Chains A and B, each alone.
Chain A
């Protein structure tokens, strides 16, 4: 299985919170009508939940001072979660022969208004389809158990949680599309004078979701989630064909939290200069030795390498390698590091965190979860799918509308109990190089994301794709920009080589894609010194840069 972290998202509009007041009542009414019949069937539905996501999106994207697109959309989606059997064993039990990604049903789109007749008709029909599908799954589960050896674990398929009732809706924000259209145009025009930057985008993506959830356990919730991503992406190609992209993303809950236009302009100018240098940077051959992962790079590293392996459902999936399950209570990181997932923490060092929310998509209140304490593995990320030793959700059941909820990451926080200054961390890197008899170490300044394999049938390796890497010379020479490598390894070995952390924290906000779709997350970490990492040559395209010079330019 391959997971990626990238950049994206969307949403906005105008709708009063009061207007939605009746939606929960309508959902409740139809829930009770359907559940009353379905629980009396020979294959009884013991649990039924409806989640409605009312999504407003605004996307404004510019290139070279002109709009690529400007879209405002509002849509409303229904998810029906229906379970047949009992909490102990139901239709969701993973089957050994199943593939990792869950089949995606047809999305159920609801009307934007509050008409009871229409809403109930559509909710009813989606419920009938969900029942048929669950009944089919349940029959397979029962048949599978009859002919197969029982799973080693005997944990329930669904946890029992306290019902929650709360309504805390915010109206969708209004977006001044004319103002932001002008701003992204002005920012994108900075790339226009650099024809060797083959593509670039500056985009504003505003998403506002109003979520409504009712279930047969009595939960009845309405809450809001909102996020604004201002993203800059640019791409060039070296003479040898290597793709060289750079990205910069600014996340905010509110427009006033976004950086000033001037600051973004300065960042873009730095990005352009870095791209220019990257095109001419030498290629780094394979390397094994010490390295610093900048805060942002370390954050993505932890998201990919640790975060995905802590997602609870993976500890139950017979296809998953369940690498960390046997390490519970054991040291997996140095004792000066804690790793926490906290959807309730909205800022770190003043930077807004995209993985914030109040309730998860199963209606469980968001919780701070210390997964690693003083280097010792203490916990997993859990939705309502229990795993051995963990009978309850810790509020990390998340999904994109239309997908089945699984345990997902929120705000990953790597916290150093002991740290050194950034300068001292560099000094420690140089010392480590000298100790290992190496001319240089590496500084991974930015990474674009990565992927990791968690399946049982393939090696549990990771691959993190750096965007900006420097050689840091042991003798103190100036750093040298290099390109062309991926950071690779196996998780536990790499964790064991983390030797120091700096006091400076970097934050990565992005969109994570996995089984339950794309969701906003953040990861933040201090810079880390790793005594030994490995890099391998990046899979390089042999595509040549454009043959002709750009129009209007005779030579570059």
Chain B
């Protein structure tokens, strides 16, 4: 199979109801840039070295009284990283750090039973032993020539092979003491293939990154009552080369950029309040214009200011809730996305790993969403309308073409997202290996327009009001922002010096912008509260969705513990979601006192 993708940078003025409106903004900067370092090695050089070492190792690498490798794979990545952060108009950090990383995979035994899919006290998770060379995410020189690259491949392959032999021995020992119910092979061979998914890498000016962060963060100077705020920017172009002993070769370029904004304040009673804004794209040119980013930051700041005066939810609310826009995205991101990648439960004698497989897989063929919703993985779709889909890729990290997968068809779970790890439920990969483990890239929700549960946005809100009247509820809940876990644990934790609660209880969603909506249509912003008791099963209780859909780009926490990346860009295309019944509670527990000394520039 030969998938050859190339596309040109496109800039759009978005019009429909998507949440990010991208306009031509940064293109003049891109053209004058060049501060950023981007000097990846030549593809010919890389493939020649990878192939020579694959060939040499497969033919000759063998320990006495141990099986030889039957399969070897290499993944080499060159990544540039331009990172900036500013506070109140002042630059705090600016860095340009290119890096080269190598990951080697070795299989010994036979495809029926090999060294993988086993967990014995952490070997599978942590890779190399203490004095062994590293072979997962091994850091290589940023300047590479043939000699140096082959040396690194030689050392890493040797270490990966030795680990593989140890794992294989441990697995055989485990198998001697038990009768396997699941006899699915560990691997299946594939035919050779050459894939390419490359595109030009626009470089970006660090001067403009600085200006962007300064100007956006400077807007918070008009809000002296806020305790802390920050604006972060990053641009991470990555080129990946993949080669294995089956003759599979792939080269791809992935581009990722983002702006993250956080602000933190306290309500009059001390309740911690945080608001965030994030926007991600592939290239800085695809980001919203500076003016439009400024408007987003001001909207964030105004919401936080309003929330300082906002009432708290007095008691637990149980009733319908409408998740709009980004909030609907986070709802799906936190409840459903982690369940979609298929993970094979490892053979293990360690209690820690028991039951670590996929839970949703046992519900294949069952209804997990309402009948009017279909869910499709569209990993190779780069745009929706004019909005870039940051989770998109056309070749996965095992060199497999990214396939479109109907995950849920009219509410019924049909397929999960897979890698080349065979399972009893799936024959092969549908191209969802990302950073070494199964992971979502792009998923779209497709509402069936012909069904009554799919409504225009305005009608959806009307339906919520109707429900309130039917159930004689004094008010309902509209959620417009749910805290994102990446934001919570990275930029917000750093900015607040850990003061904002950094953990989220399982089954709860921190609602950072929830509104009470009264039967007469009036809305009232609430202090932060929590939706509790939620799980993927809660999505069966979606009673209606909007016909219009939004793109939600975000950084998703890795699902598998064997992932080499803590967060990966993911794109969701989701409708607004009306849930039949949600339990929303006010924040429980004590709240920190207000600072003893007022902020320095706050007028009494």
Contact call A551/B91, Cβ cutoff below 8 A: no
B86 at the interface (CB under 8 A from A): yes
Is the pair A551, B88 in contact by a Cβ cutoff of 8 Å?
Answer: no
Query: What residues on A are CB-neighbors of B448 within 8 Å?
Result: none
- In the complex, are the beta carbons of B131 and A541 less than 8 A apart? yes
State the CA gap A192–B57 with chains docked (Å).
21
Chain A nearest Cβ from B61, distance in angstroms: 6
Complex: chain B residue closest to A41, CB-CB: B596
B151 touches A550 (CB 8 A): yes
Stretch at the interface among A124-132, A287-295, A524-532: A124-132
Contact B56 A71 (CB under 8 A): no
Taking the complex as formed, is A148 at the interface, i.e. its CB lies under 8 A from any CB of chain B? no
Is A118 a contact of B88 with CB atoms below 8 Å?
Answer: yes
Q: Mark A103-131, 1 if CB is under 8 A from B, else 0.
A: 00110111111010110111011111101
User: Is A69 engaged at the interface, CB distance under 8 Å to the other chain?
Assistant: yes
A30 on interface, CB distance cutoff 8 Å: yes
A222–B597 Cα distance when bound, in Å, is 27
Interface size, B (range) = 35 or more
Q: Are A129 and B497 in contact (CB under 8 A)?
A: yes
Does B151 contact A64, Cβ atoms closer than 8 Å? yes
- Do A121 and B92 contact each other (CB < 8 Å), given the known contacts A195-B151, A551-B56? no
- Expressed in whole angstroms, the Cα–Cα distance for A541 and B89 within the complex equals 53
Complex Cα–Cα for A108 and B228 (A): 12
Q: How far is the CA of A547 from the CA of B62 in the complex (A)?
A: 7
Contact code string B60-97 (vs A, CB < 8 Å = 1, else 0) = 11110000000000000000000000111111110101
- A64 touching B147 by the CB < 8 A rule? yes
- Asked if B133 and A198 make an inter-chain contact with CB atoms under 8 angstroms apart, the answer reads yes
Q: How far is the CA of A111 from the CA of B87 in the complex (A)?
A: 7
Instruction: Tell me whether B53 and A551 are in contact (CB under 8 A).
Output: yes
Least Cβ distance of A354 to chain B in Å?
Answer: 26
- Report whether B145 and A546 are in contact in the complex, using a CB–CB cutoff of 8 Å: no
A546 contacts across to B, CB distance below 8 A: 154-155, 158
Q: B-facing mask of A258-278, CB < 8 A → 1, else 0?
A: 000000000000000000000
Interface size on A, residues (CB 8 A): 54
Q: Chain B's nearest CB lies how many Å from the CB of A539? A: 10
Minimal beta-carbon separation of A106 from chain B (angstroms): 4
Q: Which residues in B have their C-beta under 8 angstroms from that of A552? A: 147, 150
**Interchain CA distance A52-B56 in the complex, whole Å:** 54
Of A41, A108, A129, which is within 8 A of B499 by CB? A129
B52 at the A interface (CB under 8 A):
yes
Q: Are B61 and A120 in contact (CB under 8 A)?
A: no
A199 and B155 CA atoms in complex are apart in Å by: 9
Of the candidates B87, B142, B154, which one forms a contact with A118 in the assembled complex, judged by CB atoms under 8 Å apart?
B87
Would A198 and B599 count as touching, CB distance under 8 A? Answer: no
B residues in contact with A125, CB < 8 Å: 227-228, 497, 595, 599
How far apart sit A543 and B150, CA to CA, in the bound complex (Å)?
21
Whether, in the assembled complex, B200 has its beta carbon less than 8 Å from a beta carbon of chain A, the answer is: no
A543 cross-chain contacts in B, Cβ below 8 A: 129, 131-132, 162
Q: Which of A23-47 contact B (CB under 8 A)?
A: 30, 33-34, 37-38, 41
1/0 per position for B262-290, CB-CB distance to A under 8 A? 00000000000000000000000000000
A63 at the interface (CB under 8 A from B): yes
* Interface residues of chain A: helix, strand, loop or mixed (majority): mixed
Q: Which of B99, B151, B601 contacts A120 (CB 8 A)?
A: B601
Asked if A348 lies at the interface with its beta carbon under 8 angstroms from chain B, I say no
Q: Could you tell me if B154 and A548 are in contact, using CB atoms closer than 8 angstroms?
A: yes
Q: Which residue in chain A gives the minimum CB-CB distance to B139?
A: A68
Q: Is the CB of B154 within 8 A of A111?
A: no
Chain A residues closer than 8 Å to B95, beta-carbon distance: 71, 73
Q: Is the CB of B91 within 8 A of A113?
A: yes
A274 to B497, CA, bound (A): 49
Residue of B nearest to A67 (CB): B143
Which interface residue of A68, A113, A547 has the most chain B CB atoms within 10 A? A547
Expressed in whole angstroms, the Cα–Cα distance for A552 and B48 within the complex equals 14
Which residue of the partner chain, among B88, B148, B597, B601, contacts A63 with CB atoms under 8 Å?
A: B148
Which partner residue on chain B sits nearest A540 by CB separation?
A: B131
Task: Report B-chain residues with C-beta under 8 Å of the C-beta of A154.
Answer: none
Q: Assuming the A-B contacts A64-B148, A111-B91, A550-B154, are A124 and B600 also in contact, with contact meaning beta carbons closer than 8 angstroms in the complex?
A: yes
In contact, A548 and B90 (Cβ under 8 angstroms): no
* Min distance, Cβ B42 to any Cβ of chain A, angstroms: 14
Choice from A33, A67, A105, A551 contacting B151 with Cβ under 8 Å: A551
Q: Tell yes or no: A338 within 8 A of B by CB.
A: no
- B142, A67: Cβ atoms under 8 Å? yes
**B147-168 toward A: CB 8 Å interface, digit per residue (1/0)?**
1101101110010011000000
Set of chain B residues within 8 Å of A544, measured between Cβ atoms: 63, 162
Most A-side CB within 10 Å, residue of B86, B97, B498, B600? B600
Using CB atoms, name the residue of chain A closest to B53. Answer: A551
CB of B601 within 8 A of CB of A117, answer: yes
Given contacts A129-B497, A543-B129, contact A551 B90 (CB under 8 A): no
Q: Does A165 contact B (CB under 8 A)?
A: no
Please, which residues of chain B bring their CB within 8 A of the CB of A192? 147
Binding site for B on A (CB under 8 A): 30, 33-34, 37-38, 41, 62-64, 66-71, 73, 75-76, 105-106, 108-113, 115, 117-118, 120-122, 124-129, 131-132, 192, 195, 198-199, 243, 541, 543-544, 546-548, 550-552
Query: Would you list 20 pairs from A and B whose C-beta atoms are within 8 A, ordered by A residue?
Result: A34-B597, A64-B141, A66-B141, A66-B144, A66-B148, A71-B97, A115-B88, A117-B601, A121-B88, A125-B497, A128-B597, A131-B596, A195-B151, A243-B131, A544-B162, A546-B154, A547-B62, A548-B57, A551-B150, A552-B147
Given contacts A38-B596, A112-B90, A125-B228, 17 further A-B contacts (CB under 8 A): A41-B596, A66-B144, A68-B141, A68-B142, A70-B142, A106-B498, A112-B92, A128-B596, A129-B499, A243-B131, A541-B131, A543-B162, A548-B154, A548-B158, A550-B151, A550-B154, A551-B150
